[in-house]
């Protein structure tokens, strides 16, 4: 083994049985995620179909990013700024201007003549509505690696992990949009990145990777 990252507490819920956890910014994370029970969305967005090499059929591509959170800056900003940055209420997790957590994201809703969910809010720019209907399954963890010795700042953040059947069409397209305009960029810094091909699960008596090596 060449490298590892000690993480804790998943940051996104991935099944209907789980309450939505909070990330290190204190925001609920995973509200609009794909759920394991939503088999239509799983086959449309997560499992590789007939488009790739035969050994990847039924597998998925994992994209990961080590994203440092600038928590000192985040903690100094007002609640209103934080909520406008994400586009959701901090306490309930509901979209700005809506009430229960799972209310749909209404990108056309207005407030005082302005969009209720700001044009640079994270959830607007990451949503399927503005990304040609594309979605990803997020399954990240939080990390803390002590203190950055040079500046005395917390070395902590989100170890972002997501699964999709086509990284170029899904993660890369969404990340390009976020990278250029997301209000969250003021509070985060991507410091590492990798992509993995994850072959399908093992058949009874078989092993993972059998479709490639067997």
Asked if 86 interacts with ligand HEM (CB under 6 A), we say: yes
Type and span of the H or E element at 207 = none
Asked if 88 interacts with ligand HEM (CB under 6 A), we say: yes
Asked if 96 interacts with ligand HEM (CB under 6 A), we say: no
Asked if 62 interacts with ligand HEM (CB under 6 A), we say: no
- Dist CA 201 CA 61 (whole Å): 13
Task: Please report where in the chains the tokens 């969009």 appear, as a residue.
Answer: 115
Nearer to ligand HEM, 128 or 198 (CB): 128
- Dist CA 112 CA 127 (whole Å): 23
Distance spanning both ends of the chain, measured CA to CA: 24
Number of residues that bind ligand HEM (CB under 6 A): 30
Nearest distance in Å: CB 204, ligand HEM: 35
Asked if 127 interacts with ligand HEM (CB under 6 A), we say: yes
Asked if 116 interacts with ligand HEM (CB under 6 A), we say: no
- The first and second tokens of residue 122, run together, are 């994270």
- Dist CA 34 CA 156 (whole Å): 26
Burial class of residue 156 in the structure, from the number of CB atoms within 10 Å of its CB (0-12 exposed, 13-18 middle, 19+ buried): middle
Asked if 27 interacts with ligand HEM (CB under 6 A), we say: yes
Asked if 29 interacts with ligand HEM (CB under 6 A), we say: yes
The residues of the shown chain that bind ligand HEM, judged by CB under 6 A, are 12, 23, 25, 27-33, 65, 67, 69, 86, 88, 105, 122-123, 126-128, 136, 157-158, 160, 171, 174-175, 178, 188
């Amino acid at each position: 083994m060449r490298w590892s990252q000690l993480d804790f507490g998943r940051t996104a819920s991935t099944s209907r049985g789980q309450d939505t956890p909070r990330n290190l910014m204190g925001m609920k994370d995973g509200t609009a995620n794909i759920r394991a029970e939503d088999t239509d969305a799983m086959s449309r967005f997560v499992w590789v179909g007939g488009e790739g090499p035969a050994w990847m059929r039924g597998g998925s591509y994992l994209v990961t990013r080590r994203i440092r959170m600038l928590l000192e800056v985040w903690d100094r900003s007002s609640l209103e700024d934080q909520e406008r940055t994400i586009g959701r209420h901090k306490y309930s997790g509901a979209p700005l201007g809506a009430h229960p957590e799972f209310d749909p994201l209404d990108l056309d809703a207005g407030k005082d003549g302005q969009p209720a969910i700001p044009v640079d809010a994270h959830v607007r720019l990451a949503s399927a509505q503005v990304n040609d209907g594309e979605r990803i399954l997020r399954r990240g963890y939080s990390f803390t690696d002590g203190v950055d010795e040079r500046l005395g700042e917390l070395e902590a953040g989100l170890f972002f992990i997501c699964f999709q059947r086509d990284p170029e069409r899904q993660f890369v397209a969404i990340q390009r949009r976020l990278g250029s305009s997301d209000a969250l960029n003021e509070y985060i810094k991507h410091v590492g990145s990798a992509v993995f091909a994850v072959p399908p699960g093992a058949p009874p008596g078989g092993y993972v990777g059998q479709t490639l090596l067997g």
